[in-house]
Each structure stands twice: as structure tokens, then as C-alpha cells.
Amino acid sequence: MTVAKNGLIALAALAALACNTPASDDGKTDETAAAAKADEKAAETPKLGPPPADAKVMFVWPLEGSKVPPTFDVIFGVSGMTVTPAGEAIDDRTKGHHHIIIDGKPIPAGTVVPADEKNIHYGKGQTQTQLTLTPGKHTLTMQFADGAHRSYGEQLSQTINVEVVAIEGEPKVMFLEPADGAKVKSPVAMKFGLEGLEVRPAMEDPLDKTTGHHHVVLDDKPVPLGRVVPADEKHIHYGKGQTEATLELSPGKHTLTLQLADGAHLSYGEKLAHTITIEVVE
């Protein structure tokens, strides 16, 4: 990647030289001098068109006003553009990759996004990441830039305010009962455990990503991060904030997945899920 980047800079320098030579040769009148100056400027910043007018980026998780624990997931959203790794299709104005700017501002269009601890590049084409921030208020700016890391400017940025709340320990959910591998009778008595985050009834504060409620997923997988937990016979919501429940199950082997989701029933994903296998006996 470094080699490719250096090659690109060398190319840009060559292009600048090639354009500057004729312009400086025939600057005879004020008008042509001005034109030459404009040419020079254009050579410094390659003349690339704007991105599609309706293209935009948005945070999918967290959202404006969210409360988050110190280490939290971020999901990037984009429409009207395609996410591609850095270094690919660099002059294609419909492609690029995401960046996060912590406590900063959008990068002006055409300016290369700096790379430091406050300006994070997702040059592999990631659409999701995890950040760790100090407790307190922060802004997160999502900034889309092209394959050469040149910003698409404010149009392809979004800034949100988040509040990082200190929590105790690593967030973790677990079945306290039944035990993994247990032989049990129906109705099955269950007890749900949660560390780090707090149990809170659904809908009280959908922006609070430090609390949530339990769900049991029957004979199916955890719900991916940020997706709404369906409400059907395979997905049971405990939206009152229950930490105990019973479940009628048919005899035989079943998997039970405890899945935490936020106040809007958006899943915390696999990291906050726990799957056990039980056998229901008559």
C-alpha cells in the first residue's frame, strides 16, 4: 500500500510539472497570467468532478445523541456510493472508503484525510468498527474519501454527538439457568445474567447503548449487530426488563440464544449473545 501511495504522489508531481511548463512560458497579458495561475492550481489539485449529488453517508450505529460504553461498535452507512479498498479506482467519483474523525470536523473536498489517532482510515473497505474513547462528550465525524484518501467534503460526511459513559467491567450476557448441556423438563425455567450494561425496559431510551433487554432466540442464530430483533415464534422479547422466564418447548434437543438488544430492539450482536444447547425430556 505504501509503495502504491508513493507511486501515486510521484505521478501527481509529474503531472504538475507537465502542466506548469507551458503555462509559465506564455504568461504575456494579465488575462493569460491569471489563466496560467488557475492552471497551476488545477495541477496541484487534480480536477476531479463531484460525487453524485444524492450520495450521502450516515451512522447506522450509534446515532446522534447516543450514550455508549467506552468501547463500542460503529456501523457505517453509505448510499449512492460504493465502498472499495484504498488504492483502487482512485479517480472514480462513485467509489471510496470510510474514515472516522474524533472530535474534529469534516475534511474539505479534495484534501487528503490525515492519518493519526483522531483521523482513522478504514482503507480495507470496512463498513464496521469498534472504538474506545474516554468517558464524556465526543463528536464522531464519518468522512468518505476516494481511493487516494482525498475527501469528498462535507456532502459525504456526518457528525454526531455521543456521550461515553464509564461502565464496570466487560459487557457480557449469559444464561444463569439452565446450564449448557442440561436435560430439563418443559416448561423450561430460565434465568438471564448481564454484566457491564444494565437491564432496562424497551422503549424507555432507544439511544442508550449502555442498557438493554433480553431476548431468547429459539433454535436459531444470534441477531447481527444493529438489526431489529424480529418478533416471531423463534424470537421472544422480554421488553419489560425480565431477568427470569419460562418457555414451553417440545421434547428433544434445542439451542437457546440469549440476545441483548437496545431500547429500540436493535441487537447488540454476537458479542452480547450466549448460546446453549439443552435437551427437553418428558
We find the least distance from the C-beta atom of residue 213 to Cu ion, in angstroms, to be 6
Q: How many residues bind to Cu ion according to rule CB under 5 A? A: 3
Dist CA 281 CA 253 (whole Å): 9
- Which of 222/239 has CB closer to Cu ion? 239
- Check binding of 172 to Cu ion (CB under 5 A): no
- Which of 138/237 has CB closer to Cu ion? 237
Interface stretch with Cu ion, choices 9-17, 151-159, 164-172, 232-240 (CB under 5 A)? 232-240
Which letter, b or e, does each residue of 253-280 get, where b requires 16 or more Cβ atoms within 10 Å of its Cβ? ebebbbbbbbbebbbbbeebbbbbebeb
- Check binding of 214 to Cu ion (CB under 5 A): no
- Which of 152/192 has CB closer to Cu ion? 192
Dist CA 143 CA 123 (whole Å): 12
C-alpha cell at 165: 459513559
261 touches 268 (CB < 8 A): yes
We find the least distance from the C-beta atom of residue 203 to Cu ion, in angstroms, to be 9
Interface stretch with Cu ion, choices 15-23, 61-69, 248-256, 263-271 (CB under 5 A)? 263-271
Residue 279 Cα to chain centre, angstroms: 38
42 phi/psi in degrees, rounded to 5: -60, -35
List CB contacts of 251: < 8 A, sequence separation 6 or more.
186, 280, 281, 282
- Check binding of 237 to Cu ion (CB under 5 A): yes
We find the least distance from the C-beta atom of residue 56 to Cu ion, in angstroms, to be 29
- Which of 126/242 has CB closer to Cu ion? 242
Residue 181 Cα to chain centre, angstroms: 35
Interface stretch with Cu ion, choices 32-40, 66-74, 165-173, 257-265 (CB under 5 A)? 257-265
Interacting residue with Cu ion among 225, 265, 268, 273 (CB under 5 A): 265
Q: Which residues bind Cu ion (CB under 5 A)?
A: 237, 239, 265
